[in-house]
Amino acid sequence: MHLVKAGGAEFPAIGLGTYTLKGDQCRDLVAHALDVGYRHIDTAALYDNEAAVGEGLRASATPRDDIFLTTKVWYTEIGARALEASAEASLKRLGLDHVDLLLIHWPNPEVPLAESIGALNRVRERGLTRHIGVSNFTRPLLEQAVALSAAPLVCNQAEYHPQLNQSALLATMRKHDIAFVSHSPLGRGETLSSPAITDAARTHGKTPGQIILRWHIQQPGVAAIPRTANPARLPENIDLFDFALSDAEMAAISALGSAGRRFCDYAFAPEWDRN
């Protein structure tokens, strides 16, 4: 499987997102994903499923050392002491002594960034995580975070799909050797019927969803974590390595985002966190 390398870390370009998955369904999907070849699993304290993810890891025969596991600290818990306590609580729920990547899930304008990044570094120094990073950070915030962190920030996880142009953010991340991990990589499904995607699907004998995921991982330094509740989708979402999109196909898909909405254009995101 293709690996993304950044800041001293390396991890599979395709992972399993677990947002909205709960209980036995989450446990079974994680275990099945590992059994069919996934080695990159993403969760978060907010998702309220870390215990189920941990159960899924133990239900699979896949060795723990072969799995790259990410969890995230919610933005209300990124003060100095709160962040460390949140990391400890996540590990307890997961039933593990460390994760591979710990992220600040969202920035918080009420907590100094230096305090949050300092706490993130301390968690790494304590061995609770092998690597650290951020999620949903804009370019200015990312530049500040890089300057404040003693250890490399290996990724910024953010929304990215063909309808959302992230070229400016990507350029900033590549400058600092930071991987882009795309959440919501298929968008809301609007682009699945776009000719740029359906034409490529016919050419390569793949589904539109596979074309979009291939578009993600064919970009340097980009990984994707599609979420599915359908076990039958799991093998399809990693069956991406027996073909490549042409330069023209990549450009046509990227052009779908030329008039797309801006990064962090969410009702949840505070005004200061918009580009």
Q: Which residues are catalytic?
A: 47
3-class secondary-structure state, position 242: coil
Beta bridge partner(s), residue 72 = 103
Q: Decide if 176 contacts 145 (C-beta within 8 A).
A: no
Element housing 170 (H / E): helix 167-175
Spell out a b/e string for 5-32, using b for 16 or more CB atoms within 10 Å of the CB, else e. ebbebebbbbbbbbeebeeeebbbbbbb
d(CA 34, CA 177): 28
d(CA 170, CA 156): 10
Beta strands in 117-261 (DSSP E): 129-135, 153-159, 179-183, 222-224
d(CA 59, CA 27): 8
Closest by alpha carbon to 14, among 26, 2, 6?
2
Spell out a b/e string for 214-227, using b for 16 or more CB atoms within 10 Å of the CB, else e. bbbbbbebbbbbbb
